[in-house]
Structure 1
């Protein structure tokens, strides 16, 4: 009674007490009573007394106890220990059904960063809660770890305090050089212990994730032990694709921090094999590991081996830049320290191997191009251009020879797809010795090159020509001819050899068809012709060479023409040259025949003394009968034929030949112009009228105006003014006056000089009539270059607004 009298102080309190006596299970009454005291700002001890009476009245209702705890937390007047003790006291009254209480207390502990409280709450919760609710309390703990604890170890990484890789490397190299131990990051033991507890009962689907979180705590001993236990049945971890790459990397880092160097190296080598795409990263990681141990010679060895084995440009660049950085920072740190500490200078050379590191850095810089060339050769050992570039990187004769020798041993001829490229290496190799006056060695190299099974004829041509040219310079044309005669020996049955080569789909070496090389035959001919000095025997040999080329069907149209010219220049019988042209015409298609005919006919017309006029006419007729039906433009032949007949005094025939050409190309205005002008010049005005009339009817309207003017001018000169006016009238009606200025200007001048007032007025009336009646095709005019193209008004205009309404107003 005395206890109650301390807290019940007014009549309203007495009323609540009576009401609670009548209805002790009325939660509403209890809450109203508490609210009244809170509004009166009663002392904290009064509120605690009333809350605990309320909670004991409903001892088994968890939500009421939770309200009590929330009130205590919210008040912020209770220390954490008091709240925790009250929580433990409350839980003693519950054998089950206290899930919300545990969650509330864990939420409070994590919000207060009370690590010891979190651990105790976790212990109590796991004992009190059913197994189905354990994952919820673990989830709250993991959330706290991920958001609050693990970031501390990640952000607290000692390496992150440096701004970039270079600064970090500089510090680490300095510490390795001068004996300072590298700072180890402090592990998060609390988080590690929590995670180790969970990993023991973690389901398989969450095991790897939990092990990854464990690595984030930097507790490397725990990582080493638990990774072995749960990933490889208690044995040392081995690289495999079945375990996530990130977990294997964590284990490797743990070995590094625990200084288990042999195991570290063994696992790293395994990882390079299992994850070849990460090989460069592992190389850099291994180099850093050796640098921590101050084994700088191992660092150089690791990086050099990796650089010499990689076939990837990105990996090569990464390793090269890293090694250069290591060597440069090593020297910079060492030099700076020697300046600041003179006592170290006594044995610096021996202790720090200063000269060796300086030489290595210089070698790295000077051999970059060579190392890059090595990489390209590893990528494609059959790249001819890469090998040729490699030879330019060396200066001495011996080094260059070694490059060429290694290249011809390495390159597979069947894998070189650019014809003639592989031969350039052999030729450059031989030329190297040739320029060094080692002629026998150079010849031996060319001879060996000719035995290589090249798939392309171009390679053999290049080698033979190179050898020949060098021999000519040194020993004269005769020696060059001997070499080419050896190359161009024709087999007994050349057709069978060629057929066999074609059926083999170029699997046979190209040596089998060297005798068909156009390049070698052409050079052989040039040398033969250059060596002729009125030697009859040499002329016969050259003619025989041409005949052999024709027989082998390797002669080109130009060879036939050269053969004809050769016979004309070195024999008295020009007919033999013409016979070569006749033979050439049967070898080639009509388009090529046309070019041969032009040369043939031009030379035939110049050799009137050798060929009869009728024979030359037959040649012209035969050429035109062969070419014109095939749609070939024979304008030059018609003109040459016409000029030939003109020289023979047959003016009418000369003009008729051009007319024949006009008929074959009826719409060619240039051909008609030549025809009518020659008719006017050779036959006179009266006889030229039919040609002009046919011309005006054959040429398209816009192009006929110049011929109409020429026709009118001719009639004017003959005094036929009426005919001239009719011709001008005909021409005027073909074009709109605005496009026919030249004709109207000529007509006006004609009337001013030869007409009268009436004829002039008639001309003007016709011009006005035509201006009104003739229309200019604006569409065609607008499409001409430089003109603006307009859109016809009749076309439907696309509205800018697709929802526009067309009002028919």
Structure 2
């Protein structure tokens, strides 16, 4: 056995570690010296039945016998590392060194095995051997192909992060060469390590790489913003200039140009950068540039508040220094002067705030007239600045794009000179203003009116008239369309009704009647007259006793306007003509012209005026004919009232009998509801005349319009009439007619009700709902009543305690019943 041990191990084995149970495994090893299977079986046996020393003995022999066997070395190394895993690496450093030496032996021939390197590196990371571990990581990277490096870097990166300091940075720099996508982690490490300059450079590399994709989902702006925050927060620690290649101001300014919605924040950031570097004057310049260039109120407020806070902090620091000097009794006039200067500068800044804010709004829209007016108001009594502001506003605003009343700005400019007694310059401004290509004709018209009003305020009435005459100056026959936007306002302003209205009022108040008439005539020639123009011109002629001229003006107005405007003009014209007591023939002609083309909607008033004229100055017979024509000409809504009025007039002029044909025509022409009311009035009239049979016939005719269920009042009146003036036969005839009418209405109503009931029950059955028993009972009761013979009541309705008398029984109609009265006849 001793000879076999010597062969298997290459050296003399420790016989105490070999037992009789191992003989079979030793023989297999001798028979297959180059095979790992006997060794694996031997090791497996030892693991189950032997001590740690015996296991190590066999594994050591196996690795010596087969030094290139990955499996044997892996088992052996795992066994040895597991044996010392629970020991303190600092106290039992010697044991750990033995295992390290064993790994080194294994890597002599197995240095291409990444798993062995991983085990070795993980084992080294448990030991306080930073330099050895780092070098071993480097050896692993050199030994393994690049395709296997990721397995090493998986352990190398946590080691670098734990090592910190320069070691970690150097390791990460190498890692970045093969894995640039992890740049964000590297930047975070550099920031934590205080290497802000290198972190900024790494940010720049990332931002300049268009193919970079953030693992954390950050966008380009977010990364750029983080870099700017880093530059600002650590301004004093980051080197700038040619030696580092970092131009902070240029970087932030590029963002100000690119990210318009973040300009306020970036301007504040740039100023803060210079503050932290101690360049206070440069920071103040940045703040000034920011508040004079931003385009939104939000950005302006942000920058201005930061600027004011900065100035307050500087003043506060200087005041603390001054108070400290005062306590010590030291007098420094230079420092006190500097403090006064800064206080004055701060006050000036706060005074400038409204102007700076106004500048922001005007930068957004230079054509904002309202904001220019506000700027003028801010200067108050500073005349030089007010004039300069007006001049700047007029030069800046584009008339076609003006937002607000641009003409009012010109007018206020002229009023400024006027209020200061310089009427000559005010006129110069007005002359320039009326030549401005305003956005609309209305603005130009207002500008001319403002000029004329300025002359009126200064008692220059003739000049005001001349100005307005110049404003409305136009060719004799103008073919210009007032709404043609292709023409300038100056070419269309002569057709502005607003301008002519002011002109005619001005001329009427300061000039003669002839001049005023010329202006009105010119308005009619240009065909820009309005109904108010016609009325004003006519009233003017009437005030000066030119009544016929006034009537002619109304007639000209009627030629210009159609209904409904013409109705108002006719109303005024006819009223004034009637009041003038002109000849009845002429008035009749006027009224005939008025009603000739009058729509039914407006006919009632004119016909009533016409009829009233005939009643007062003509013949009653003619008035009746007019009222009769009116009943045909008015609208449906007014026809019943017109008939009632006609009947009243006829009765008052010719007596009640004369109204009979009118009643007959009204009943034939009016709808059922109004015809029913007319029949009742007709019957009352006949009853007053004693014509009982005629009244009864009228009631019979009206019955066809009256359902007994919906119009019980009509049947009550007829019943009272028969009780007073009829007999048993006429009363029965009334009841027969009533049953017949009710049967007629019941036929239609019952059919509709039954169809509705059937549809309702069908829908409820389809939806799985039960029919409401109360509804079903009510419907069944109605059906029984409808099917019951005439004169009978359904049993469910019979009163308790006796038979119902005929007078008490409800009248239930039966369309199939045979009327005995009809048979007798």
Pair 1:548 & 2:522 matched: yes
- CA deviations 1:766-801 (Å, max 9, x no partner) are 66765665369999x99xxxxxx9996278579789
Q: Partner residue of 1:391?
A: 376
- Aligned counterpart in structure 2 of residue 715 of structure 1, from 675, 686, 706: 686
**SS in structure 2 of the partner of residue 374 of structure 1:** helix
CA distance in 2, matches of 1:113, 1:641: 124
Q: Under a length normalisation based on structure 1, what TM-score does the superposition of the two structures give? A: 0.76
Q: Partner residue of 1:408?
A: 394
Q: Partner residue of 1:697?
A: 668
Change (3 A) 1:299 1:270: closer
Q: What are the equivalent positions in structure 2 for 1:283-302 lying under 5 Å apart?
A: 283-302=267-286
Which of 1 and 2 has higher RCO (CA within 8 Å, sep 6+)?
Answer: 1
The 8 Å contact of residues 211 and 247 in structure 1, kept in 2 or not, is answered as: no
**SS in structure 2 of the partner of residue 433 of structure 1:** helix
Q: Partner residue of 1:574?
A: 547
Change (3 A) 1:736 1:313: farther
Structure 1 residues 724-733 or 279-288, which shifts more?
Answer: 724-733
Q: Under a length normalisation based on structure 2, what TM-score does the superposition of the two structures give? A: 0.75
Q: What are the equivalent positions in structure 2 for 1:211-226 lying under 5 Å apart?
A: 216=191, 218-222=194-198
- Aligned counterpart in structure 2 of residue 131 of structure 1, from 135, 140, 146: 146
- Aligned counterpart in structure 1 of residue 240 of structure 2, from 253, 260, 270: 260
CA distance in 1, matches of 2:702, 2:50: 121
Change (3 A) 1:126 1:751: same
Change (3 A) 1:567 1:196: same
The 8 Å contact of residues 367 and 398 in structure 2, kept in 1 or not, is answered as: yes
Change (3 A) 1:144 1:605: farther
Pair 1:505 & 2:486 matched: yes
The 8 Å contact of residues 265 and 302 in structure 2, kept in 1 or not, is answered as: no
- CA deviations 1:699-736 (Å, max 9, x no partner) are 33344443333333323322334443444454454354
- Aligned counterpart in structure 2 of residue 271 of structure 1, from 254, 260, 266: 254
CA distance in 2, matches of 1:772, 1:74: 113
Task: State the 1:748 CA deviation.
Answer: 5.2
CA distance in 2, matches of 1:333, 1:343: 16
Task: State the 1:504 CA deviation.
Answer: 7.6
The 8 Å contact of residues 449 and 463 in structure 1, kept in 2 or not, is answered as: yes
- CA deviations 1:356-410 (Å, max 9, x no partner) are 5555555555544432221110011011122122233333242444432321122
CA distance in 2, matches of 1:105, 1:427: 93
The 8 Å contact of residues 453 and 511 in structure 1, kept in 2 or not, is answered as: yes
Cα RMSD for the two superposed structures: 4.6
CA distance in 2, matches of 1:297, 1:246: 25
Change (3 A) 1:137 1:603: farther
Pair 1:602 & 2:580 matched: no
Change (3 A) 1:100 1:790: farther
Task: State the 1:63 CA deviation.
Answer: 4.8
CA distance in 2, matches of 1:50, 1:229: 56
The 8 Å contact of residues 211 and 227 in structure 1, kept in 2 or not, is answered as: no
**SS in structure 2 of the partner of residue 495 of structure 1:** coil
The 8 Å contact of residues 103 and 137 in structure 1, kept in 2 or not, is answered as: yes
- CA deviations 1:478-521 (Å, max 9, x no partner) are 55434323433x2345526x37x987803x3x233333222222
The 8 Å contact of residues 106 and 122 in structure 1, kept in 2 or not, is answered as: yes
Change (3 A) 1:275 1:751: same
Task: State the 1:583 CA deviation.
Answer: 1.6
Task: State the 1:600 CA deviation.
Answer: 2.1
CA distance in 1, matches of 2:77, 2:463: 114
Q: Partner residue of 1:60?
A: 68
Q: Partner residue of 1:4?
A: 14
**SS in structure 2 of the partner of residue 257 of structure 1:** coil
Pair 1:635 & 2:584 matched: no
CA distance in 1, matches of 2:323, 2:748: 93
The 8 Å contact of residues 235 and 277 in structure 2, kept in 1 or not, is answered as: no
The 8 Å contact of residues 280 and 315 in structure 1, kept in 2 or not, is answered as: yes
Q: Partner residue of 1:89?
A: 105
Change (3 A) 1:757 1:346: farther
- Aligned counterpart in structure 1 of residue 429 of structure 2, from 445, 460, 463: 445
Task: State the 1:121 CA deviation.
Answer: 4.0
Task: State the 1:317 CA deviation.
Answer: 3.3
Task: State the 1:213 CA deviation.
Answer: 6.7
Task: State the 1:423 CA deviation.
Answer: 0.6
Pair 1:563 & 2:540 matched: no
Q: Partner residue of 2:561?
A: 588
Q: Partner residue of 2:306?
A: 322
- Aligned counterpart in structure 1 of residue 626 of structure 2, from 657, 677, 684: 657
- Aligned counterpart in structure 2 of residue 678 of structure 1, from 630, 642, 646: 646
Q: Give ranges in structure 2 of 5+ residues lacking alignment.
A: 6-11, 90-95, 210-219, 769-825
Pair 1:305 & 2:289 matched: yes
**SS in structure 2 of the partner of residue 431 of structure 1:** helix
CA distance in 2, matches of 1:21, 1:778: 121
User: Larger C-alpha radius of gyration, 1 or 2?
Assistant: 2
CA distance in 1, matches of 2:729, 2:322: 118
Change (3 A) 1:711 1:417: farther
Change (3 A) 1:444 1:692: same
Pair 1:374 & 2:382 matched: no
CA distance in 2, matches of 1:686, 1:570: 51
CA distance in 2, matches of 1:686, 1:63: 138
The 8 Å contact of residues 34 and 51 in structure 1, kept in 2 or not, is answered as: yes
- Aligned counterpart in structure 2 of residue 647 of structure 1, from 607, 616, 634: 616
- CA deviations 1:49-106 (Å, max 9, x no partner) are 444445455543435544544555555235666465544432222253x123334555
Number of residue pairs the alignment of both structures matches: 726
CA distance in 2, matches of 1:776, 1:432: 87
Q: Partner residue of 2:588?
A: 617
Change (3 A) 1:28 1:92: closer
CA distance in 2, matches of 1:319, 1:695: 85
